[in-house]
Structures are given as structure tokens and as C-alpha cells.
Amino acid sequence: MLLRGAPTREPFPPPGIVSDNATRQKRKALLQACREQLQSQSRYVTAEATRTLKQSDAVSIVRVICRRFHAAVVQLQSQQRQALQINNEYDVQDILHALLELHFNNVRAKQPTPSFRGELSRTDFLLKNGQIVVEAKITRATLAEKEVCFELMEDAAHYKRNGDCQRLVCLVYDPQGFIKNPRGVETEIRKLSSASLGVELIVAS
């Protein structure tokens, strides 16, 4: 069941606060290496083949990417890639962005969206052609099952007001197992869908 409490949403610091220039350059180089390895190992359709995908097909590809996210991370951390650390949502977004770029030509990162409850919101990734928003979160002690459900309820309410979005897919990376019943939570989150917005949660662990 969705938990209806209203925990305080933990503010996520902007990238400039959590990393200096050297760290950003290291992350950029690492992301490029990730892209190269993922491109060489990809078993999915190419970006050229997905140029005119129907929304249902595009969602299916996003779903596969999210389901296999942990396997991709494990592969990238092997073979002398222990330097790849997943510590926060920015790290998750970097890897997810690389995976999305393999399959879609028009991936728009960090698109500004209309304000909601007086706050300026931003989208993680917008697949403009399919009107699909892809969000990424990572669980932690302060963002476990209850908090994830509450945030997704807020996100769904927000995107129902956004004309650019017809489908919201949220990847929640849960490597430490904070979500005890992932399939049950996924089922409950789908109930947030409406005629104007389909909502889907995928827990990867």
C-alpha cells in the first residue's frame, strides 16, 4: 500500500556543490568510457532504428534499460573499473543518460518544467518524440520505501500538469535493498496513472 505520510523531501544539492572541477572532469572522462563500453556490448536496437518508435515501443526499451541497470553497473565496475562509484543520484543519472543515448536520438537532459507548489522543478530526461519523462533516484537511509512512494506521488501530480509528458517512468536504483517488496511497490505506483499520464516505477537491484 502507498504510505500517505508526508516526510520532508530531502533537498538534493546542485552538482557544483558536491564536486569540484577536477571531479567533474574525471566524471566526464568516466562517462565517455562508459558510453564506449556500452556501445560495444549493446544487444538492443540502435538509435537509428528507434528514430520513429511508437510511444509504447519506446517505453518498452526504457523499461528494459531500467530493469538491466544494475547488471550494466556491475559490468562497468568489473575489469579494472572499480573507480566507477554510484554514490548519489547524479552518478545514477550519468549511467542512465549513456544508456538512453544508445537507443534514442532526442534525449533532453535536465529540462526545466513548470513550477509546482511554488518550487522550480526539473526533469531528469525527456524523450521528446515519445513525450516520455524518465526520472532516476537512488535509495538511501533517508529515501527508503515510504519516502520513495511519497516523492513519486508528488512527481505524478506535477507531471499531470505538464503538457509535454504523457508517460512518467521512474528508475529507482536500490543496490542496498531498502525497498523490501519492490514488485508490490511497483504495482501500487502504477495505480497513480490517469487518462492523461501513465506512471511506472522500476526498482533495479
H or E stretch including 136? Answer: strand 132-138
pLDDT at residue 192 tops 70: yes
The model carries a pTM of: 0.71
Give the full edge-to-edge strand order of the sheet including 132-138.
107-109, 125-127, 132-138, 167-173, 198-204
Measured distance CA(146)–CA(60) in Å, rounded? 27
User: Do the bridges between strand 198-204 and strand 119-122 make them parallel or antiparallel, or are there none, so unpaired?
Assistant: unpaired
Q: Phi, psi (5° rounding) for residue 176?
A: -100, 0
The more confident residue out of 18 and 183 is 183
User: For the segment 110-159, what is each residue's pLDDT rounded down to a tens digit?
Assistant: 766 665 555 545 668 998 777 899 999 999 999 899 999 999 999 899 88
Cell of 75: 559490468
Cell of 178: 531498502
* Collapsed DSSP state (helix, strand, coil) of residue 202: strand
pLDDT at residue 64 tops 50: yes
Which of 32-36, 79-83, 119-123 is predicted most confidently?
32-36
Q: Phi, psi (5° rounding) for residue 135?
A: -105, 155
Which of 49-53, 84-88, 195-199 is predicted most confidently?
195-199
| Of residues 110, 108, 111, 106, the one with CA closest to residue 129 | 106
Measured distance CA(119)–CA(115) in Å, rounded? 5
The more confident residue out of 44 and 84 is 84
* Per-domain boundaries in the chain: 19-204
Measured distance CA(73)–CA(62) in Å, rounded? 16
Chain centre distance of CA 50: 19
pLDDT at 76: 81
